[in-house]
Each structure stands twice: as C-alpha cells, then as structure tokens.
Amino acid sequence: MQSCCRREWWKDAVLYQIYPRSFKDSDGDGIGDINGIIEKLDYFTFLGIQGLWLSPMYKSPMKDFGYDISNLTDIDPLFGNLEDFKNLLEAAHKRDLKIIMDFVPNHTSDQHPWFQKSLKREDPYTDYYVWRDGDKDKIPNNWLSVFGRTSWTWYDERKQWNYHAFIPEQPDLNYENPRVLEDMKKALAFWMDLGVDGFRYDAVVNLIEDQRFLDEPLSGDPNAKPIEHEYLRHIYTEDLPKIFTTLKEFSEVIKDFETKTGRDNLIVSEAYVTPKVSMEYYELSDIDMPYNFGLTYLNKTCDVSCYSEKIKEWMDVMSRNRWPNWVVSNHDRARISTRVGEQYIDAIHSLMLLLPGTPQFYYGDEIGMENINVTFEETQDPWGKNLGPVRYVLYSRDPNRSPMQWDASHMAGFTTANISWLPVHPDYKTRNVEVQKIRKFSHLNIFRALVWLRKYPSFRDKNLFYGPITDNIYSFGRYMPGNRGFYIILNLGHQPDTYPYDQHPKKMQDHASNVILFTGSLQDTYKVGQEIDLKDLRLNPGDGLVLTGKYNNLFPN
Ligand code: GLC
Ligand code: MG
C-alpha cells in the first residue's frame, strides 16, 4: 500500500519462498509440514529474511501438489491444521517475519464442493465453472492446457465440456459469474482476519477466457509438439483485459483491510510477461510487486548482455510509484545453480541483493542447491507426466523441488523417514546448511554478508548507476547523497577479463576503493578493507567484488 508517511515493510525486506512439502518434515511421513517450518524459523533470523511466501498448504487432493484446492479456508492434514497455522503466524511474527499466502483465483480442485455442486447443476453453483455444450466426440475448440493436451474434459453428469487451463482436476472458475468473485474475496478476508501479511496471486494470465470460444491460431514455434501449450498463440485464453479489473477487486479488499487495521499487506502476482505488461499489473490491478521474472530466463549460454538487458529493461519502466523486485528461480523453474552453473551463484546473489528493490529467493538457493535427476517412472509432476517419457525432462518440475539440505545426517536432516516424497539430492553430505555455516566463504555466508550489506542507506532507494561493461564484466554503483557509496564489479561471462578502466567513471578515479566483499577466486587475492587499484583488476568467471570508498555524492550524473 502506498501511503504518504510510512515505508512499507516489504521495501526493505528480503523474501524467501518455502515449498512446504520440501522444507522440513516434523512427523516422519517424508513430506514437509507446518511444524517443520516452525522448527526452522530461527534460520530466517540467521539469514536476515523478513518475509516468507508459502506455496499452498490448503486442503487439496494434491494432483498439482496443493495448487488444486478443495477447501480455500482450511489446511491440508498433510501439513497440519489451522491451529498449527496460527502457531506458525504467531511464532513468525514474534521474530518480525511476515507470512505471505498463495492465492489461487483461476481454479479450484474438482473435489471442491463448488465443483461437485456445479456438476449436479445445483444453484447457485451451476455456473461457477466454465461449461460448454457440445457433442461428446467433439471438443469445443483447439485450446490447450498449460500442462499439455486439450484443456477440455467431458462430464457425463452434465453432458457438457468443462474448461481447465491446467489439469482436468483443476477446473477454471467462471468470472463471468459475479458470485465467484464475491466468494473468492471471502477467502482472502478469512486469511487476513487470521493475520497473514499478504498474498501471491497465482497464474493470473489464465484468469479470463474470451467468451466467443474461438480456436486459437498456431504459434509457429518449431520446437513445440501439437499437444504442448507453446503450439498455439494464446490470444483468447491469456492476458485478457478483464484480468486487471478482476484482480483490482481482490486488491481493493486487501487495501480496505489495510486501511482498517493499519497493517501493510504485500500483494505480488505471478505472470510471465514483458516488463511493459507487468506495468499494467501495477497500474490497473493495484499490485505492489508483479514478479519480475526476467532473470528466470538466464541459462548457461548467457554472457553479460542477457543480464544487462534484463536489468535495464526492468529498471527503465520503474517510474516513481513502482518498486522493483528480482526473482531467479521458484518451484516452477530449474534451480539457478543448475541453469547457470554453481560458480555464478554468489555473483547472482550480489545482483539480487544489491540492485534496487526487493529480492525473493527460492529455498535452498542460498546454499546453491542443484536440481535432482528424476526418471519418467519417478515423475510426479502432472506437467512432466502429461508429456510422456521423452519430453517430460523439458517440463517436469520435480527436479527443482527436492528436500531442503539441512545437514549431513540421515536424509539431509529433512525427515526421519527413510524415503521422502522426492529424493534428497545425492550431494547433501557436502552441500548443506551446517557445512556452509562453518565455511568462511560458503554461498551461505556470502549470502548473509550481502544481506547485511544492503542495510546501508545507499541500497534503500532506487538510485542505480550503471558502470562500464564488457562481454564478461558487469558493474554498477549504489549511492545516497551524503552516505557511503558502493561499487559492484562482477564477472558474469565465460572468460577471465580485466576491468575496463579506460571507461571507469572519471569522477570516481581519484578515490581510493576499498574491498568490502568478494567472491570466487578473488578470495585468495584480497582482504577485507584492502585498497585496490582498479587498473589491474582481473576477474575470473563468477568472481565478484564489492567496493566502497569515498564515493560520497559521486554517482549522480
Ligand atoms: C502457477 C504455480 C504452479 C501451478 C500453476 C497452477 O503457475 O506457480 O506451480 O502448477 O499455477 O496452479
Ligand atoms: Mg510431514
């Protein structure tokens, strides 16, 4: 919420996504749960995190691992119960930790009572979902599910087709019916009354369907198979204008609550769209931070241009009332370590924590966790299962959802069971929180140092100064007039490279630069506080350096 005199908590926060199934199991069934999270809350104090986003823990048949909700105001027994959830809120709030809930407006589970009643044409639920007349042997149109295959399922009970943007067990809600909106608002109110601190709007691009139900055109994507979502251009099922006004109604409920209680709730939204379209979510739907997913596209072939273009593109659209954010991975994308290579992890954390705005991390990225390998037989994710034994590797999200690696003990300290819902990564004996606590320059300790660094006033605002770049080196400065400034130099490329001193900002040239933090191979070269001559600075891929000096008032213009 924008208010004249108060700074919202989330502007200074570092956010962390917990995928509850995989975080910490307290009852020995091999699946993480609420009491497991409570056990680990001190970890967030240790890391310096202020907000947790929890992927869904609502009652669910778990066909999409919680994103298929059968009761919007209850907790699934797998995770605990409402009392446990209240305890979590209380324990978190004691530590100044905020809790953000997932909110899934697009669909429910087919086991939700609304759907069960809709199936029987019981009013007022008859039109709560998207139903189409037709012939059992002829699907209404060519629309494809995001997870592959047709997005229509025939129900004999109604002798009608049902639309689902995701799997058949996730029927889409029908926002043509105003009652749906009202009922969904009630779910938001329920959790706000309980004391949650915000919501993540899930899968918002799919919220509205064009009511003419016309075939979608082919995308022409040569890599897409006919059953895959990318095969079509989604002009009738995604990004429709009514999404913005619908979401705004939800945001209004939340903002009203804020006005009443004086508490700032954070609203984030999940849409893989261009920065330009993201702006519409800020402007038209009153969302505090539409996720900036630009950096989720990073991969091993990226040189500096991938990074610099994505950063600039995003920062360029950040006008005065918009607050930036950074995400590199989540439960739907491959682990960042696996995507770009572990050696870049500290440099990427430096970007996320030292660029202007709020970063959100995916559990385990702070220790550089890697994807696991999952065979087709082991695959549980419907997205992987749908696409068959050859293509599943491209889509399954199981590899990036493996249990958190706490220590070198049995099952990485995740569970006392001998088997967990997804296997623990085999590297857990050497990669885990406990070992990295002890190692001075571990990913974990560099992460913590960066979190600590960003408390300096120069990192609080949107001030950003782009330094020179080469094919390998990216540099930027952060400043706040009258305060200590910082200059960050990272090698994000694939070759060793020398800092382009000939392009070094003139104004900064006479000033001593002291090393304050470094990563990668530079750990052997420099000491904290050491003065450094930028003329000779050479960085290997993944190396990074944070300098501070007499940069007072140097950065602007
Ligand atoms: C979002 C979630 C994803 C889920 C889908 C359907 O994209 O992030 O995990 O499968 O919505 O709810
Ligand atoms: Mg459990």
pLDDT tens figures, 228-284: 999 999 999 999 999 999 999 999 999 999 999 999 999 999 999 999 999 999 999
Task: Report the nearest-CA residue for atom 6 of ligand 1.
Answer: 67
Q: Which of 72, 202, 360 to mutate to test the pocket of ligand 1 (most atoms within 8 A of CB)?
A: 202
CB of residue 147 inside a 6 A radius of ligand 1:
no
Q: Do domains 9-105+179-203+240-448 and 461-548 have the same CATH topology?
A: no
CB-based contact 328:296 (threshold 8 Å): yes
CB-based contact 49:16 (threshold 8 Å): yes
Domain boundaries, the chain: 9-105+179-203+240-448, 461-548
The sign of the dihedral angle between the CA atoms of 435, 438, 439, 445 is positive
Report whether pLDDT(2) > 70: no
Q: What is the pTM of this model?
A: 0.97
Q: Can you give the pLDDT at residue 555?
A: 61
Mean predicted confidence (pLDDT) in 209-214: 98
Q: pLDDT for 373-393, tens place per residue?
A: 999 999 999 999 999 999 999
CB-based contact 31:41 (threshold 8 Å): no
Q: Can you give the pLDDT at residue 249?
A: 98
Report whether pLDDT(557) > 50: no
3-class DSSP assignment, residue 230: helix
CB of residue 202 inside a 6 A radius of ligand 1:
yes
Q: Can you give the pLDDT at residue 553?
A: 59
Residue 394 phi, psi (nearest 5)? -75, -20
Distance CA 228, CA 404 (A): 31
Cα separations (Å) of 189 from 66, 73, 76?
Answer: 20, 10, 19
Q: Which residues are catalytic?
A: 202, 270
Q: Which of 67, 170, 380 to mutate to test the pocket of ligand 1 (most atoms within 8 A of CB)?
A: 67
Query: Strand 266-269 and strand 198-201: pairing?
Result: parallel
Nearest-atom number in ligand 1 for the CA of 166 is 6
CATH number assigned to the domain with residue range 461-548, chosen from the 4 options 3.30.2350.10, 1.25.40.10, 3.20.20.30, 2.60.40.1180: 2.60.40.1180
Distance CA 334, CA 369 (A): 11
For residue 433, give the nearest of 368, 506, 353, 338 by alpha carbon: 368
CB-based contact 372:337 (threshold 8 Å): no
For residue 108, give the nearest of 80, 76, 72 by alpha carbon: 72
531 beta partners: 514
Report whether pLDDT(219) > 60: yes
Which ligand lies nearest to the CA atom of residue 270 in the structure?
1
Task: Report the nearest-CA residue for atom 9 of ligand 1.
Answer: 332
Residue 518 pLDDT class (50, 70, 90 cuts): confident
Mean predicted confidence (pLDDT) in 49-60: 98
Nearest-atom number in ligand 1 for the CA of 104 is 12
Task: Report the nearest-CA residue for atom 11 of ligand 1.
Answer: 203
Task: Report the nearest-CA residue for atom 1 of ligand 1.
Answer: 203
Distance CA 412, CA 551 (A): 45
Q: pLDDT for 98-137, tens place per residue?
A: 999 999 999 999 999 999 999 999 999 999 999 999 999 9
Q: pLDDT for 341-371, tens place per residue?
A: 999 999 999 999 999 999 999 999 999 999 9
Cα separations (Å) of 126 from 104, 119, 131, 169, 176?
Answer: 20, 7, 9, 17, 12
Cα separations (Å) of 547 from 40, 133, 477, 497, 532?
Answer: 34, 66, 9, 18, 9
Q: Which of 332, 360, 397 to mutate to test the pocket of ligand 1 (most atoms within 8 A of CB)?
A: 332
Which ligand lies nearest to the CA atom of residue 107 in the structure?
1
CB-based contact 264:9 (threshold 8 Å): yes
478 beta partners: 486
Distance CA 151, CA 141 (A): 9
Distance CA 405, CA 23 (A): 9
Helix count and strand count (H, E) for the chain: 14, 20
Q: Is 510 exposed, middle or buried (0-12, 13-18, 19+ CB in 10 A)?
A: exposed
Q: Can you give the pLDDT at residue 551?
A: 63
Calculate what percentage of the chain has a pLDDT beyond 90. Answer: 89
CB of residue 102 inside a 6 A radius of ligand 1:
no
- What class is the 9-105+179-203+240-448 domain? alpha beta
Residue 294 pLDDT class (50, 70, 90 cuts): very high
Distance CA 26, CA 79 (A): 9
Distance CA 137, CA 240 (A): 29
- Enter the DSSP assignment of 320: T
Q: Can you give the pLDDT at residue 522?
A: 85
